[in-house]
């Protein structure tokens, strides 16, 4: 099966490559990059449970077709960032989510309001962001270019009527406003127009809130395999030790491993994510997790001055694509935990960080997990034990 937009859309790169070959290429890439280190167990890559319709989140941009003036809604065109590919059926999102794309596009065309022009920074409709759980709960966030005042007094009632038209097909319908020139699907203010203020996903025995502004793993099916690997690597000092979860987001990993430790401390700079983390521990009746809203490099630098001045047995790090700041690596080495579980979405930056860590730690296990079929991306979990 190959998407009708393949080769034009800038999303998937490898749909024309057989999936077993994709897996081999990703495994070879990870092992090749890490071959410079002395490694213990290098495990076979874990495949994605589903290779289509697996995405939990998608961001679509609005644009116009210069020749016809037709409004477009889709992904950036390959090698043409200012052009939009009008998506009819994206094979990475569910059929229900694709139907929402069509309904939104048709409504925008009838609204008489212009779509956003990325070059001129003019127009109204900017992005459609959707998030969906493995059980089919769907969140819609329609992001527009205006001020909060303009939206509330000129557009809100029209949007609320449209949001209500989805009924039970959409669990949460938001509209976010963003009148900056920055080309990111972020919002200055967000309005809940229909449904609940979150959707809920289950991973293993735990339930998690997913809000419009918080991070969640992209592959809604294979995330269980990823988290089970993290938990396996974190195990060892059951019930008597403390774990530090750096870049903890909404507390998903902290909660998933919480039964292994006496205490889990999560560090996260996004206050919205920490707010969700606190709600998630309440939802799951978890008593031994605490969360701190702070940048990792700041919190680690003064950890010994806080109430969290404890001897850590385990540190879990799940950084963004650029990897760890040098100050974070230095602070980790000073903390001197028994083991580190490094969760990476970028093998190249993982290698850079391991070069510093392996002076004091040895790599005992490496596990690649394919969370992103048909793309070059791969998740890697590395367990490091103190030498």
Q: What is the pLDDT of residue 226?
A: 98
Q: What's the CA gap between 88 and 312, in Å, rounded?
A: 51
Burial of 16 (C-beta count, 10 Å sphere; 0-12/13-18/19+): exposed
Please give the structure tokens belonging to residue 130.
């959707």
The rounded percent of the chain whose pLDDT value lies above 70 is: 94
Q: What's the CA gap between 301 and 316, in Å, rounded?
A: 17
For residue 133, the 8-state DSSP code is -
Beta carbons within 10 angstroms of residue 269's beta carbon: 15
Bridge partners for 380 per DSSP: 344, 368
Q: What is the pLDDT of residue 68?
A: 55
Beta carbons within 10 angstroms of residue 109's beta carbon: 13
Q: What's the CA gap between 338 and 361, in Å, rounded?
A: 9
CATH class in words for 19-51+203-386: alpha beta
Q: What is the pLDDT of residue 64?
A: 80
For residue 47, the 8-state DSSP code is P
Instruction: Pick out the chain residues at pLDDT < 50.
Output: none
345 has catalytic annotation: yes
Q: What is the pLDDT of residue 354?
A: 96
Q: What is the pLDDT of residue 106?
A: 94
- Its pTM stands at 0.92
Q: What is the pLDDT of residue 8?
A: 82
Q: Which SS3 state, helix, strand or coil, does residue 372 take?
A: coil
Catalytic residue among 3, 12, 243, 345: 345
For residue 151, the 8-state DSSP code is I
CATH class in words for 57-196: mainly beta
Tell me the pLDDT tens digit for each residue of 14-40: 999 999 999 999 999 999 999 999 999
Domain ranges of the chain: 19-51+203-386, 57-196
Question: Same topology for domains 19-51+203-386 and 57-196, yes or no?
Answer: no
């Amino acid at each position: 099966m190959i998407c009708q937009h393949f080769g034009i859309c800038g999303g998937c790169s490898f749909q024309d490559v057989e999936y077993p070959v994709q897996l081999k290429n990703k495994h070879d890439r990870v092992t090749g990059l890490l071959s410079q280190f002395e490694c213990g167990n290098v495990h076979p890559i874990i495949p994605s449970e589903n290779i289509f319709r697996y995405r939990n989140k998608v961001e679509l941009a609005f644009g116009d077709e210069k020749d016809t003036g037709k409004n477009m809604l889709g992904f950036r065109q390959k090698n043409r960032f200012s052009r939009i590919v009008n998506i009819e059926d994206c094979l990475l999102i569910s059929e229900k989510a694709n139907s929402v794309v069509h309904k939104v596009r048709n409504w925008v065309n009838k609204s008489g309001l212009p779509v956003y022009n990325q070059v001129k920074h003019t127009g109204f409709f900017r992005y459609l962001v959707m998030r969906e759980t493995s059980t089919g709960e769907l969140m819609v966030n329609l992001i527009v270019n205006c001020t909060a005042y303009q939206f509330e007094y000129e557009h809100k009632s029209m949007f609320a009527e449209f949001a209500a038209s989805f009924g039970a097909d959409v669990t949460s319908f938001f509209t976010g406003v963003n009148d900056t020139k920055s080309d990111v699907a972020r919002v200055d203010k967000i309005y809940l127009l229909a449904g609940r203020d979150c959707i809920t996903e289950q991973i293993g025995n735990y339930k998690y809130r997913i809000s419009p502004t918080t991070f969640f793993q992209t592959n809604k099916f294979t995330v269980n395999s990823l988290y089970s690997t993290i938990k396996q690597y974190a195990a060892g000092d059951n019930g008597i030790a403390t774990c530090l979860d750096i870049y903890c987001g909404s507390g998903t990993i902290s909660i998933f491993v919480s039964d292994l430790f006496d205490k889990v401390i999560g560090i996260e700079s996004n206050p919205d994510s920490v707010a969700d983390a606190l709600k998630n521990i309440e939802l799951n009746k978890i008593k031994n997790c605490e969360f701190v809203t702070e940048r990792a490099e700041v919190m680690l630098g003064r950890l010994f001055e806080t109430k969290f001045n404890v001897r850590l047995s385990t540190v879990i790090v799940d950084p963004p694509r650029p990897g760890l700041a040098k100050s974070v690596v230095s602070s980790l080495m000073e903390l001197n935990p028994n083991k580190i579980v490094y969760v990476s979405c970028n093998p190249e930056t993982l290698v850079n960080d391991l070069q510093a860590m392996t002076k004091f730690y040895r790599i005992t296990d490496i596990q690649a997990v394919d969370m992103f079929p048909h793309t070059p991306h791969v998740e890697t979990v590395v367990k490091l034990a103190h030498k």
